[in-house]
Amino acid sequence: MIKPDAVENGHVGGILDKITSAGFKIVAMKYTQLSKRDAKAFYAVHSERPFFGELVEFMTRGPIVTAIIEKENAVDDFRALIGATNPAEAAEGTIRKLYATSIGENAVHGSDSDENAAIEGDFHFAGREIY
């Protein structure tokens, strides 16, 4: 997902360029907005964390771009491309270093395992929207 902060700040094109230039293939993509229910379900693993309410407010405040992307070693390579959760700790040249503003408003989401990538892909897309 390209999160609401990065969409608001006009970084959709820049982020998609970083992703495709790094060798990822886009197999599904849409411009949409999460409901409260969607965001709570998507980030359910964090429901007990102190920042959960803030995270749900943030993720629902405007449109996002959501996509399924493919590559060899995609999960690890994408997490390397996006950088650390906190942009202050993200490596030079990473998407979060370039485009994120804070640990909460950090421009992009990446799946943390192949298993969760499959679950998250199904959360956002019907089978006929995946190419």
Q: Is 109 a catalytic residue?
A: yes
- Among 57, 79, 71, which Cα is nearest to 5's? 57
Residue of 11, 46, 109, 124 marked active site: 109
- Residue 109 C-beta: closest distance to ligand ATP, Å: 4
Q: Which is nearer to Mg ion, 17 or 123 (CB)?
A: 123
Q: Which is nearer to ligand ATP, 28 or 108 (CB)?
A: 108
Q: Residue 55 touches which of Mg ion, ligand ATP, none (CB < 5 to 8 A by kind)? A: ligand ATP
Strand, coil or helix: 33 = coil
Query: Can you name the residues that pair with 2 across neighbouring β-strands?
Result: 65, 108
Given phi > 0 = left and psi -120 to 50 = alpha, else beta, which region is 36? alpha
- Site residues, Mg ion (CB under 5 A): 112
